[in-house]
Structure 1
Amino acid sequence: MRVWAVANQKGGVGKTTTAVSLGGLLADQGKRVLLVDLDPHGSMTSYFGYDPDELEHSCFDLFQASDAIPPELPSQLLLDTSHSNINLLPSSTALATLERSMVGKEGMGLVVSRSLASLWDDFDYALIDSPPILGVLMINALAACSRLIIPVQCEFLALKGLERMVHTLNMVTKSRPTPLPYHIVPTMFDRRTNASLHSVKEMRHTYPDTVWDHMIPVDTQFRDASKAGVIPSAYDSEGRGVRSYAKLLKTLTAQES
Protein backbone atom coordinates (compact mmCIF):
# COMPACT_ATOMS: atom_id res chain seq x y z
CA MET A 1 0.00 0.00 0.00
CA ARG A 2 1.18 3.49 -0.83
CA VAL A 3 0.30 6.17 1.71
CA TRP A 4 -0.16 9.80 0.72
CA ALA A 5 -1.04 12.58 3.13
CA VAL A 6 -2.77 15.84 2.23
CA ALA A 7 -1.89 18.61 4.65
CA ASN A 8 -1.57 22.36 5.11
CA GLN A 9 -1.54 24.54 8.22
CA LYS A 10 -4.29 26.70 6.74
CA GLY A 11 -7.89 25.66 6.35
CA GLY A 12 -10.07 26.11 3.29
CA VAL A 13 -7.35 25.41 0.73
CA GLY A 14 -8.88 22.27 -0.81
CA LYS A 15 -7.40 19.44 1.27
CA THR A 16 -10.53 17.30 1.37
CA THR A 17 -11.33 17.97 -2.29
CA THR A 18 -7.78 16.96 -3.21
CA ALA A 19 -7.86 13.72 -1.20
CA VAL A 20 -11.32 12.70 -2.44
CA SER A 21 -10.56 13.63 -6.07
CA LEU A 22 -7.26 11.73 -6.19
CA GLY A 23 -8.73 8.79 -4.30
CA GLY A 24 -11.69 8.70 -6.65
CA LEU A 25 -9.51 8.70 -9.75
CA LEU A 26 -7.41 5.88 -8.34
CA ALA A 27 -10.58 3.93 -7.54
CA ASP A 28 -11.81 4.51 -11.10
CA GLN A 29 -8.61 2.78 -12.25
CA GLY A 30 -9.52 -0.27 -10.20
CA LYS A 31 -7.27 0.50 -7.24
CA ARG A 32 -8.47 -0.33 -3.73
CA VAL A 33 -8.46 2.98 -1.89
CA LEU A 34 -8.64 3.84 1.79
CA LEU A 35 -9.54 7.42 2.73
CA VAL A 36 -8.49 8.37 6.26
CA ASP A 37 -10.16 11.38 7.87
CA LEU A 38 -7.99 12.79 10.69
CA ASP A 39 -9.67 16.19 10.79
CA PRO A 40 -11.99 16.66 13.81
CA HIS A 41 -14.22 18.79 11.57
CA GLY A 42 -14.90 15.62 9.60
CA SER A 43 -15.29 17.19 6.16
CA MET A 44 -14.34 13.97 4.39
CA THR A 45 -16.62 11.94 6.64
CA SER A 46 -19.51 14.34 5.96
CA TYR A 47 -18.71 14.22 2.23
CA PHE A 48 -19.85 10.60 2.12
CA GLY A 49 -22.99 11.18 4.15
CA TYR A 50 -21.84 10.34 7.68
CA ASP A 51 -22.24 12.68 10.64
CA PRO A 52 -18.99 13.00 12.65
CA ASP A 53 -21.05 14.21 15.62
CA GLU A 54 -23.12 11.02 15.66
CA LEU A 55 -20.67 8.23 14.77
CA GLU A 56 -20.18 5.77 17.63
CA HIS A 57 -16.82 4.56 16.29
CA SER A 58 -14.11 6.40 14.40
CA CYS A 59 -10.36 7.06 14.19
CA PHE A 60 -10.64 8.17 17.79
CA ASP A 61 -10.90 4.51 18.82
CA LEU A 62 -7.40 3.93 17.45
CA PHE A 63 -5.93 6.70 19.60
CA GLN A 64 -7.71 5.38 22.67
CA ALA A 65 -6.04 2.02 22.07
CA SER A 66 -2.74 3.80 21.29
CA ASP A 67 0.23 1.39 21.35
CA ALA A 68 -1.98 -1.66 22.02
CA ILE A 69 -4.19 -1.46 18.93
CA PRO A 70 -5.91 -4.83 18.34
CA PRO A 71 -5.01 -5.94 14.79
CA GLU A 72 -8.67 -6.38 13.89
CA LEU A 73 -9.76 -2.92 15.09
CA PRO A 74 -8.84 -0.79 12.02
CA SER A 75 -10.85 -3.00 9.66
CA GLN A 76 -13.82 -2.93 12.04
CA LEU A 77 -13.92 0.88 11.80
CA LEU A 78 -14.14 1.02 8.00
CA LEU A 79 -17.24 2.45 6.34
CA ASP A 80 -18.52 2.04 2.79
CA THR A 81 -18.74 4.99 0.41
CA SER A 82 -20.52 5.76 -2.83
CA HIS A 83 -17.66 4.07 -4.74
CA SER A 84 -17.24 0.30 -4.44
CA ASN A 85 -13.43 0.59 -4.45
CA ILE A 86 -13.25 3.19 -1.67
CA ASN A 87 -13.52 2.65 2.07
CA LEU A 88 -13.50 5.38 4.68
CA LEU A 89 -11.80 5.43 8.06
CA PRO A 90 -14.00 8.16 9.52
CA SER A 91 -13.40 11.10 11.81
CA SER A 92 -15.41 12.21 14.80
CA THR A 93 -15.49 15.42 16.78
CA ALA A 94 -13.94 13.50 19.69
CA LEU A 95 -10.60 13.82 17.89
CA ALA A 96 -10.57 17.47 18.95
CA THR A 97 -9.98 16.35 22.54
CA LEU A 98 -6.82 14.35 21.81
CA GLU A 99 -4.27 17.05 22.60
CA ARG A 100 -5.81 17.63 26.02
CA SER A 101 -6.89 14.15 27.06
CA MET A 102 -3.80 12.19 26.03
CA VAL A 103 -1.00 14.65 26.74
CA GLY A 104 2.26 12.95 27.67
CA LYS A 105 1.13 9.52 26.52
CA GLU A 106 3.91 7.74 24.63
CA GLY A 107 3.56 6.46 21.07
CA MET A 108 0.81 8.89 20.08
CA GLY A 109 2.64 10.00 16.93
CA LEU A 110 2.64 6.53 15.39
CA VAL A 111 -0.97 5.44 15.95
CA VAL A 112 -1.96 5.83 12.29
CA SER A 113 1.20 4.08 11.06
CA ARG A 114 0.49 1.10 13.30
CA SER A 115 -3.17 1.03 12.25
CA LEU A 116 -2.38 1.10 8.54
CA ALA A 117 0.02 -1.81 9.02
CA SER A 118 -3.02 -3.97 9.83
CA LEU A 119 -4.64 -2.94 6.53
CA TRP A 120 -1.52 -3.04 4.38
CA ASP A 121 -2.57 -5.91 2.11
CA ASP A 122 -6.21 -4.81 1.83
CA PHE A 123 -5.61 -1.57 -0.09
CA ASP A 124 -3.41 -0.25 -2.87
CA TYR A 125 -3.50 3.37 -1.68
CA ALA A 126 -4.34 5.24 1.50
CA LEU A 127 -4.95 9.00 1.39
CA ILE A 128 -4.96 10.87 4.68
CA ASP A 129 -6.86 14.14 5.14
CA SER A 130 -5.23 15.97 8.04
CA PRO A 131 -6.37 18.95 10.13
CA PRO A 132 -4.96 22.46 9.50
CA ILE A 133 -3.28 22.53 12.93
CA LEU A 134 0.16 21.31 13.93
CA GLY A 135 -0.51 18.71 16.60
CA VAL A 136 -0.66 14.98 17.20
CA LEU A 137 -3.05 14.36 14.26
CA MET A 138 -0.90 16.11 11.67
CA ILE A 139 2.22 14.48 13.11
CA ASN A 140 0.52 11.10 12.65
CA ALA A 141 -0.26 11.91 9.02
CA LEU A 142 3.30 13.00 8.29
CA ALA A 143 4.79 9.98 10.07
CA ALA A 144 2.56 7.51 8.21
CA CYS A 145 2.92 8.79 4.67
CA SER A 146 5.51 8.18 1.97
CA ARG A 147 4.46 11.28 0.02
CA LEU A 148 2.92 14.60 1.02
CA ILE A 149 0.59 16.77 -1.04
CA ILE A 150 0.25 20.40 0.07
CA PRO A 151 -2.74 22.17 -1.54
CA VAL A 152 -2.35 25.95 -1.50
CA GLN A 153 -5.17 28.32 -2.40
CA CYS A 154 -4.04 30.94 -4.87
CA GLU A 155 -4.27 33.95 -2.57
CA PHE A 156 -1.88 35.90 -0.32
CA LEU A 157 -2.86 34.55 3.11
CA ALA A 158 -2.47 30.97 1.89
CA LEU A 159 1.17 31.70 1.08
CA LYS A 160 1.76 32.44 4.76
CA GLY A 161 0.20 29.08 5.64
CA LEU A 162 2.47 27.40 3.11
CA GLU A 163 5.51 28.98 4.71
CA ARG A 164 4.50 27.53 8.09
CA MET A 165 3.80 24.14 6.55
CA VAL A 166 7.20 23.91 4.87
CA HIS A 167 8.86 24.93 8.14
CA THR A 168 6.98 22.15 9.93
CA LEU A 169 7.92 19.67 7.24
CA ASN A 170 11.59 20.55 7.58
CA MET A 171 11.41 19.92 11.33
CA VAL A 172 9.61 16.59 10.92
CA THR A 173 12.01 15.44 8.20
CA LYS A 174 14.89 15.57 10.69
CA SER A 175 13.35 12.63 12.55
CA ARG A 176 12.87 10.52 9.39
CA PRO A 177 15.52 8.22 7.92
CA THR A 178 14.90 9.74 4.48
CA PRO A 179 13.39 13.10 3.40
CA LEU A 180 9.63 13.14 2.79
CA PRO A 181 8.86 13.88 -0.88
CA TYR A 182 6.22 16.58 -1.28
CA HIS A 183 4.33 18.47 -3.94
CA ILE A 184 2.89 21.97 -3.54
CA VAL A 185 -0.36 22.10 -5.52
CA PRO A 186 -1.87 25.50 -6.37
CA THR A 187 -5.66 25.24 -5.91
CA MET A 188 -8.72 27.41 -6.57
CA PHE A 189 -6.85 29.13 -9.38
CA ASP A 190 -8.74 31.84 -11.28
CA ARG A 191 -6.69 33.27 -14.12
CA ARG A 192 -8.97 36.34 -14.20
CA THR A 193 -7.68 37.60 -10.85
CA ASN A 194 -4.37 39.24 -10.06
CA ALA A 195 -4.33 37.46 -6.70
CA SER A 196 -4.23 34.05 -8.37
CA LEU A 197 -1.62 35.06 -10.93
CA HIS A 198 0.61 36.69 -8.33
CA SER A 199 0.29 33.81 -5.86
CA VAL A 200 1.32 31.18 -8.39
CA LYS A 201 4.25 33.32 -9.51
CA GLU A 202 5.36 33.75 -5.90
CA MET A 203 5.06 30.01 -5.18
CA ARG A 204 7.15 29.10 -8.21
CA HIS A 205 9.78 31.69 -7.25
CA THR A 206 10.04 30.62 -3.61
CA TYR A 207 9.69 26.84 -4.05
CA PRO A 208 10.86 26.21 -7.64
CA ASP A 209 11.60 22.50 -7.17
CA THR A 210 8.41 21.43 -5.40
CA VAL A 211 5.52 23.37 -6.97
CA TRP A 212 3.48 21.31 -9.41
CA ASP A 213 3.64 22.50 -13.03
CA HIS A 214 -0.13 23.02 -13.30
CA MET A 215 -2.98 24.43 -11.18
CA ILE A 216 -6.34 23.18 -9.92
CA PRO A 217 -8.93 25.69 -11.14
CA VAL A 218 -11.96 27.06 -9.36
CA ASP A 219 -14.75 24.64 -10.27
CA THR A 220 -18.26 24.73 -8.76
CA GLN A 221 -18.70 21.07 -9.68
CA PHE A 222 -16.51 20.11 -6.72
CA ARG A 223 -19.18 21.61 -4.46
CA ASP A 224 -21.96 19.91 -6.40
CA ALA A 225 -20.23 16.52 -6.21
CA SER A 226 -19.80 16.96 -2.46
CA LYS A 227 -23.48 17.79 -2.06
CA ALA A 228 -24.35 14.63 -3.99
CA GLY A 229 -21.93 12.55 -1.89
CA VAL A 230 -20.07 11.19 -4.91
CA ILE A 231 -16.47 11.53 -6.04
CA PRO A 232 -15.96 14.40 -8.52
CA SER A 233 -15.09 12.07 -11.41
CA ALA A 234 -18.42 10.27 -10.95
CA TYR A 235 -20.28 13.57 -10.99
CA ASP A 236 -18.57 14.87 -14.14
CA SER A 237 -15.61 12.94 -15.49
CA GLU A 238 -14.84 15.70 -18.01
CA GLY A 239 -15.04 18.67 -15.64
CA ARG A 240 -12.04 20.97 -15.76
CA GLY A 241 -11.25 20.37 -12.09
CA VAL A 242 -11.34 16.59 -12.53
CA ARG A 243 -9.11 16.83 -15.59
CA SER A 244 -6.61 18.86 -13.58
CA TYR A 245 -6.55 16.32 -10.76
CA ALA A 246 -6.04 13.59 -13.38
CA LYS A 247 -2.90 15.45 -14.49
CA LEU A 248 -1.75 15.67 -10.88
CA LEU A 249 -2.36 11.97 -10.34
CA LYS A 250 -0.34 11.16 -13.45
CA THR A 251 2.55 13.19 -12.05
CA LEU A 252 2.35 11.51 -8.65
CA THR A 253 2.08 7.94 -9.92
CA ALA A 254 4.90 8.47 -12.42
CA GLN A 255 7.19 9.30 -9.52
CA GLU A 256 6.03 6.24 -7.57
CA SER A 257 7.04 3.78 -10.26
Structure 2
Amino acid sequence: MHVWSVANQKGGVGKTTTVVSLGAMLAEKGKRVLIFDLDPQGSLTSYFGHNPDDMDNSAFNLFANKGKVAEDLPGQLLLETSQPGLFLLPASTALATLERNVSQQDGMGLVVSKTLAHLWDDFDYAIIDTPPILGVLLINSLAACKRLLVPVQTEFLAIKGLERMVHTIAMVTASQKRTLDYLVIPTMFDRRTQASLKALRTLREQHEGHIWQSAIPVDTRLRDASREGLGINQLAPDSRGARAYQSLLKSLIALG
Protein backbone atom coordinates (compact mmCIF):
# COMPACT_ATOMS: atom_id res chain seq x y z
CA MET A 1 0.00 0.00 0.00
CA HIS A 2 1.17 3.49 -0.85
CA VAL A 3 0.35 5.89 1.99
CA TRP A 4 0.14 9.64 1.38
CA SER A 5 -0.80 12.29 3.91
CA VAL A 6 -2.12 15.67 2.80
CA ALA A 7 -1.28 18.30 5.38
CA ASN A 8 -0.77 21.98 6.03
CA GLN A 9 -1.04 23.94 9.27
CA LYS A 10 -3.15 26.51 7.46
CA GLY A 11 -6.73 25.80 6.49
CA GLY A 12 -8.42 26.59 3.21
CA VAL A 13 -5.53 25.61 0.96
CA GLY A 14 -7.18 22.71 -0.87
CA LYS A 15 -6.32 19.68 1.27
CA THR A 16 -9.67 17.93 0.98
CA THR A 17 -10.00 18.71 -2.73
CA THR A 18 -6.56 17.19 -3.25
CA VAL A 19 -7.43 14.03 -1.30
CA VAL A 20 -10.68 13.48 -3.21
CA SER A 21 -9.27 14.34 -6.64
CA LEU A 22 -6.23 12.08 -6.36
CA GLY A 23 -8.20 9.29 -4.70
CA ALA A 24 -11.01 9.31 -7.27
CA MET A 25 -8.56 9.37 -10.17
CA LEU A 26 -6.60 6.43 -8.76
CA ALA A 27 -9.84 4.49 -8.29
CA GLU A 28 -10.83 5.32 -11.86
CA LYS A 29 -7.57 3.65 -12.91
CA GLY A 30 -8.70 0.45 -11.20
CA LYS A 31 -6.89 0.92 -7.90
CA ARG A 32 -8.54 0.25 -4.56
CA VAL A 33 -8.20 3.46 -2.59
CA LEU A 34 -8.88 4.40 1.02
CA ILE A 35 -9.38 8.06 1.88
CA PHE A 36 -8.99 8.59 5.61
CA ASP A 37 -10.52 11.62 7.36
CA LEU A 38 -8.51 12.60 10.45
CA ASP A 39 -9.81 16.17 10.66
CA PRO A 40 -12.39 16.85 13.42
CA GLN A 41 -14.00 19.39 11.08
CA GLY A 42 -14.84 16.44 8.83
CA SER A 43 -14.62 18.22 5.48
CA LEU A 44 -13.81 14.98 3.68
CA THR A 45 -16.67 13.21 5.43
CA SER A 46 -19.06 16.04 4.57
CA TYR A 47 -17.88 15.98 0.95
CA PHE A 48 -19.64 12.64 0.53
CA GLY A 49 -22.85 13.68 2.28
CA HIS A 50 -22.21 12.50 5.84
CA ASN A 51 -22.58 14.68 8.93
CA PRO A 52 -19.50 14.52 11.20
CA ASP A 53 -21.70 15.55 14.13
CA ASP A 54 -23.77 12.37 13.79
CA MET A 55 -21.12 9.72 13.05
CA ASP A 56 -21.27 6.91 15.62
CA ASN A 57 -18.69 4.87 13.71
CA SER A 58 -15.69 6.93 12.69
CA ALA A 59 -11.94 7.36 13.06
CA PHE A 60 -12.62 8.32 16.67
CA ASN A 61 -13.37 4.67 17.47
CA LEU A 62 -9.80 3.74 16.53
CA PHE A 63 -8.44 5.72 19.48
CA ALA A 64 -10.75 4.24 22.11
CA ASN A 65 -8.57 1.37 23.34
CA LYS A 66 -5.33 2.95 24.59
CA GLY A 67 -3.51 2.70 21.27
CA LYS A 68 -4.64 -0.83 20.44
CA VAL A 69 -6.65 -1.36 17.25
CA ALA A 70 -8.71 -4.55 16.93
CA GLU A 71 -8.04 -6.31 13.63
CA ASP A 72 -11.67 -6.26 12.48
CA LEU A 73 -12.45 -2.68 13.53
CA PRO A 74 -11.07 -0.67 10.56
CA GLY A 75 -13.07 -2.65 8.02
CA GLN A 76 -16.26 -2.02 9.99
CA LEU A 77 -15.78 1.75 9.69
CA LEU A 78 -15.45 1.97 5.91
CA LEU A 79 -18.08 3.65 3.74
CA GLU A 80 -18.53 3.50 -0.02
CA THR A 81 -18.36 6.70 -2.06
CA SER A 82 -19.69 7.89 -5.41
CA GLN A 83 -16.53 6.56 -7.12
CA PRO A 84 -16.33 2.74 -7.41
CA GLY A 85 -13.19 1.48 -5.70
CA LEU A 86 -12.92 4.55 -3.46
CA PHE A 87 -13.72 4.01 0.23
CA LEU A 88 -14.01 6.53 3.04
CA LEU A 89 -12.99 6.09 6.66
CA PRO A 90 -15.00 9.02 8.08
CA ALA A 91 -14.29 11.52 10.83
CA SER A 92 -16.52 12.72 13.62
CA THR A 93 -16.31 15.94 15.57
CA ALA A 94 -15.51 13.81 18.63
CA LEU A 95 -11.94 13.66 17.30
CA ALA A 96 -11.52 17.17 18.68
CA THR A 97 -11.58 15.75 22.24
CA LEU A 98 -8.60 13.44 21.68
CA GLU A 99 -5.93 16.03 22.40
CA ARG A 100 -6.85 16.48 26.04
CA ASN A 101 -7.95 12.88 26.64
CA VAL A 102 -5.33 10.63 25.05
CA SER A 103 -2.34 12.64 23.84
CA GLN A 104 -0.22 11.64 26.86
CA GLN A 105 -0.98 7.92 26.60
CA ASP A 106 1.77 5.70 25.23
CA GLY A 107 1.25 4.37 21.70
CA MET A 108 -1.34 6.93 20.65
CA GLY A 109 0.90 8.28 17.89
CA LEU A 110 0.78 4.98 16.00
CA VAL A 111 -2.97 4.32 15.89
CA VAL A 112 -3.27 5.19 12.20
CA SER A 113 -0.22 3.09 11.35
CA LYS A 114 -1.79 0.11 13.13
CA THR A 115 -5.12 0.74 11.38
CA LEU A 116 -3.49 0.74 7.95
CA ALA A 117 -1.55 -2.42 8.81
CA HIS A 118 -4.90 -4.22 9.24
CA LEU A 119 -6.05 -2.94 5.83
CA TRP A 120 -2.72 -3.33 4.04
CA ASP A 121 -3.74 -6.12 1.67
CA ASP A 122 -7.15 -4.60 0.90
CA PHE A 123 -6.01 -1.34 -0.68
CA ASP A 124 -3.43 -0.11 -3.15
CA TYR A 125 -3.41 3.45 -1.81
CA ALA A 126 -4.39 5.28 1.35
CA ILE A 127 -4.64 9.07 1.37
CA ILE A 128 -5.06 10.85 4.71
CA ASP A 129 -6.75 14.20 5.21
CA THR A 130 -5.38 15.95 8.29
CA PRO A 131 -6.30 18.76 10.70
CA PRO A 132 -4.46 22.10 10.38
CA ILE A 133 -3.23 21.86 13.98
CA LEU A 134 -0.13 20.14 15.34
CA GLY A 135 -1.32 17.45 17.72
CA VAL A 136 -1.91 13.73 18.08
CA LEU A 137 -3.89 13.45 14.82
CA LEU A 138 -1.32 15.19 12.64
CA ILE A 139 1.47 13.25 14.35
CA ASN A 140 -0.40 10.02 13.54
CA SER A 141 -0.69 10.93 9.88
CA LEU A 142 2.99 11.85 9.57
CA ALA A 143 4.05 8.65 11.31
CA ALA A 144 1.92 6.53 8.98
CA CYS A 145 2.74 8.04 5.58
CA LYS A 146 5.54 7.41 3.14
CA ARG A 147 4.98 10.67 1.29
CA LEU A 148 3.61 13.98 2.50
CA LEU A 149 1.72 16.29 0.16
CA VAL A 150 1.54 19.94 1.23
CA PRO A 151 -1.01 22.03 -0.71
CA VAL A 152 -0.21 25.73 -0.48
CA GLN A 153 -2.42 28.51 -1.82
CA THR A 154 -0.43 30.83 -4.08
CA GLU A 155 -0.74 33.90 -1.89
CA PHE A 156 1.61 35.54 0.60
CA LEU A 157 0.01 34.54 3.91
CA ALA A 158 -0.21 30.90 2.86
CA ILE A 159 3.50 30.92 2.03
CA LYS A 160 4.28 32.28 5.51
CA GLY A 161 2.15 29.49 6.98
CA LEU A 162 4.16 26.92 5.03
CA GLU A 163 7.17 27.78 7.19
CA ARG A 164 5.37 26.30 10.22
CA MET A 165 4.64 23.09 8.31
CA VAL A 166 8.25 22.68 7.20
CA HIS A 167 9.36 23.21 10.80
CA THR A 168 6.89 20.55 11.95
CA ILE A 169 8.18 18.09 9.35
CA ALA A 170 11.75 18.63 10.56
CA MET A 171 10.75 18.26 14.20
CA VAL A 172 8.69 15.10 13.71
CA THR A 173 11.20 13.35 11.44
CA ALA A 174 14.01 14.14 13.87
CA SER A 175 12.06 12.59 16.75
CA GLN A 176 11.24 9.52 14.64
CA LYS A 177 14.80 9.33 13.28
CA ARG A 178 13.68 8.99 9.69
CA THR A 179 13.33 11.07 6.57
CA LEU A 180 9.96 11.95 5.10
CA ASP A 181 9.60 12.85 1.45
CA TYR A 182 7.33 15.85 1.04
CA LEU A 183 6.04 17.69 -1.99
CA VAL A 184 4.71 21.25 -1.95
CA ILE A 185 1.70 21.60 -4.27
CA PRO A 186 0.81 25.16 -5.32
CA THR A 187 -2.99 25.53 -5.36
CA MET A 188 -5.64 28.10 -6.27
CA PHE A 189 -3.27 29.60 -8.82
CA ASP A 190 -4.60 32.48 -10.91
CA ARG A 191 -2.19 33.40 -13.68
CA ARG A 192 -4.16 36.62 -14.29
CA THR A 193 -2.93 38.19 -11.03
CA GLN A 194 0.56 39.41 -10.23
CA ALA A 195 0.12 38.32 -6.61
CA SER A 196 -0.42 34.70 -7.63
CA LEU A 197 2.47 34.77 -10.13
CA LYS A 198 4.82 36.28 -7.54
CA ALA A 199 3.75 33.76 -4.90
CA LEU A 200 4.45 30.86 -7.26
CA ARG A 201 7.92 32.22 -8.04
CA THR A 202 8.62 32.58 -4.32
CA LEU A 203 7.51 29.02 -3.59
CA ARG A 204 9.78 27.68 -6.32
CA GLU A 205 12.75 29.67 -5.03
CA GLN A 206 12.28 28.76 -1.37
CA HIS A 207 11.40 25.09 -1.78
CA GLU A 208 13.54 23.95 -4.67
CA GLY A 209 13.71 20.18 -4.74
CA HIS A 210 10.45 19.81 -2.80
CA ILE A 211 7.93 21.51 -5.08
CA TRP A 212 5.75 20.25 -7.89
CA GLN A 213 6.68 22.28 -10.93
CA SER A 214 3.12 22.98 -12.06
CA ALA A 215 0.13 24.32 -10.08
CA ILE A 216 -3.55 23.61 -9.43
CA PRO A 217 -5.51 26.50 -10.97
CA VAL A 218 -8.53 28.32 -9.64
CA ASP A 219 -11.45 26.41 -11.19
CA THR A 220 -15.09 26.72 -10.19
CA ARG A 221 -15.67 23.16 -11.41
CA LEU A 222 -13.70 21.90 -8.39
CA ARG A 223 -16.22 23.65 -6.15
CA ASP A 224 -19.07 22.21 -8.23
CA ALA A 225 -17.64 18.71 -7.77
CA SER A 226 -17.56 19.22 -3.99
CA ARG A 227 -21.18 20.35 -3.97
CA GLU A 228 -22.20 17.22 -5.92
CA GLY A 229 -20.07 14.83 -3.83
CA LEU A 230 -18.12 13.73 -6.90
CA GLY A 231 -14.51 13.61 -7.92
CA ILE A 232 -13.57 16.23 -10.50
CA ASN A 233 -12.82 13.36 -12.89
CA GLN A 234 -16.48 12.32 -12.65
CA LEU A 235 -18.06 15.76 -12.96
CA ALA A 236 -15.78 17.60 -15.38
CA PRO A 237 -12.94 15.39 -16.66
CA ASP A 238 -11.87 17.96 -19.26
CA SER A 239 -11.78 20.93 -16.90
CA ARG A 240 -8.59 22.79 -16.03
CA GLY A 241 -8.72 21.48 -12.48
CA ALA A 242 -9.10 17.88 -13.61
CA ARG A 243 -6.21 18.16 -16.06
CA ALA A 244 -4.01 19.66 -13.35
CA TYR A 245 -4.77 16.90 -10.86
CA GLN A 246 -4.18 14.28 -13.55
CA SER A 247 -0.77 15.82 -14.14
CA LEU A 248 -0.03 15.86 -10.40
CA LEU A 249 -1.04 12.22 -10.08
CA LYS A 250 1.22 11.26 -12.98
CA SER A 251 4.11 13.01 -11.21
CA LEU A 252 3.40 11.26 -7.91
CA ILE A 253 3.20 7.82 -9.52
CA ALA A 254 6.53 8.50 -11.23
CA LEU A 255 8.07 9.31 -7.84
CA GLY A 256 7.01 5.87 -6.59
Superposed CA deviations along residues 13-72 of structure 1, whole A, max 9, x for unmatched, are: 000000100001100100000000000000000001111011111000001124221100
The residue number in structure 2 matching 1:14 is 14
How many angstroms apart in 2 are the aligned matches of 1:68 and 1:204? 42
Superposed CA deviations along residues 182-238 of structure 1, whole A, max 9, x for unmatched, are: 110000000111211111111111111111110000011111111111111000111
How many angstroms apart in 2 are the aligned matches of 1:101 and 1:67? 12
- Please list every run of 5 or more consecutive structure 2 residues that lacks an aligned counterpart in the other structure: none
How far the C-alpha of 1:178 sits from its partner, in A, is 3.3
Question: Which residue identity lines up with residue 124 of structure 2 in the other structure?
Answer: D
Question: Which residue identity lines up with residue 249 of structure 2 in the other structure?
Answer: L
Q: Which runs of 4+ in 1 moved over 4 A?
A: none
Superposed CA deviations along residues 90-109 of structure 1, whole A, max 9, x for unmatched, are: 00000011101224211111
The number of aligned residues is: 256
The residue number in structure 2 matching 1:232 is 232
The residue number in structure 2 matching 1:174 is 174
Where 1:126 maps in the other structure, the secondary structure is: strand
Where 2:189 maps in the other structure, the secondary structure is: coil
Q: What are the equivalent positions in structure 2 for 1:206-245 lying under 5 Å apart? A: 206-245=206-245
The residue number in structure 1 matching 2:36 is 36
Q: Please say if 1:45 is aligned against 2:45.
A: yes
Question: Which residue identity lines up with residue 186 of structure 2 in the other structure?
Answer: P
How far the C-alpha of 1:78 sits from its partner, in A, is 0.4
Question: Which residue identity lines up with residue 198 of structure 2 in the other structure?
Answer: H
Superposed CA deviations along residues 141-175 of structure 1, whole A, max 9, x for unmatched, are: 10000000000001111011111000100111113
How far the C-alpha of 1:177 sits from its partner, in A, is 4.5
Question: Which residue identity lines up with residue 243 of structure 1 in the other structure?
Answer: R
Q: What are the equivalent positions in structure 2 for 1:67-216 lying under 5 Å apart? A: 67-216=67-216
CA contact (8 A) 2:68 2:111 kept: no
CA contact (8 A) 1:31 1:85 kept: yes
Q: What are the equivalent positions in structure 2 for 1:61-72 lying under 5 Å apart? A: 61-72=61-72
Where 2:150 maps in the other structure, the secondary structure is: strand
How many angstroms apart in 2 are the aligned matches of 1:161 and 1:140? 21
Greater Cα offset, 247-256 or 65-74: 65-74
CA contact (8 A) 2:60 2:95 kept: yes
Greater Cα offset, 39-48 or 63-72: 63-72
CA contact (8 A) 1:66 1:111 kept: no
Identity %: 59
CA contact (8 A) 2:28 2:84 kept: no
CA contact (8 A) 1:58 1:77 kept: yes
How many angstroms apart in 1 are the aligned matches of 2:67 and 2:55? 23
C-alpha change, 1:141 and 1:82, in structure 2 (3 Å) is: same
Q: Normalising by structure 1, report the TM-score.
A: 0.98
Where 1:118 maps in the other structure, the secondary structure is: helix
CA contact (8 A) 2:103 2:136 kept: no
Q: Normalising by structure 2, report the TM-score.
A: 0.98
- Please list every run of 5 or more consecutive structure 1 residues that lacks an aligned counterpart in the other structure: none
CA contact (8 A) 1:128 1:141 kept: yes
